[in-house]
Amino acid sequence: QVQLVESGGRMVQAGDSLRLSCAASGRTSAMAWFRQVPGKEREFVAAITWIGGNTPYADSVKGRFTVSRDNAKNTMYLQMNSLKPEDTAIYYCAAKSRGLLLRDLLPVGTQYDYWGQGTQVTVSS
């Protein structure tokens, strides 16, 4: 019953910064960002929980991306800095509305109940 809407994707140059947003229609216990390039499998990017402050990141984005959320707005953000052409992909928002989600399972896409339609991020060299 939770609807997710991503926004903020656009074309930028390498080294630039961009912030993505994912607005949920209701409270979520955990939210995550995944990305996918045509011809490749979906890749975990980052996740964040309502309680606990767990924010795992994919190794490829550590130190460059920061995930955060505003619980009052039911919105998750992904601040992307020092963007690289390799970051080009469709970024999807995922959420688990209720229930427990172990820390080690946060990067697992099948654990999430809802998905957004995605927002395109293109980084030119």
Using DSSP's 3-state secondary structure scheme, residue 31 falls into strand
pLDDT of residue 52: 64
* Cα distance between residue 6 and residue 93, in whole Å: 6
* DSSP string across 68-99: EEETTTTEEEEEE-S--GGG-EEEEEEEE-SS
Percent composition of the chain: helix, strand, coil (DSSP 3-state, to 5) = 5, 45, 45
Cα separation, 56 vs 67, in Å, equals: 9
- Predicted local distance difference test score (pLDDT) of residue 36: 98
CB atoms within 10 A of CB 8: 15
Contacts of residue 5, defined as CB under 8 A and 6 or more positions apart, other chains included, come to 22, 23, 93, 116, 117
Provide the 8-state DSSP code for 110: G
For residue 111, the model assigns a pLDDT of 93
Tens place of pLDDT for every residue, the chain, 125 residues?
Answer: 899 999 999 999 999 999 999 999 998 889 999 999 999 999 999 999 987 678 999 999 999 999 999 989 999 999 999 999 999 999 999 999 888 778 899 999 999 999 999 999 999 99
| The pLDDT value given to residue 122 | 98
**pLDDT at position 39, please?**
95
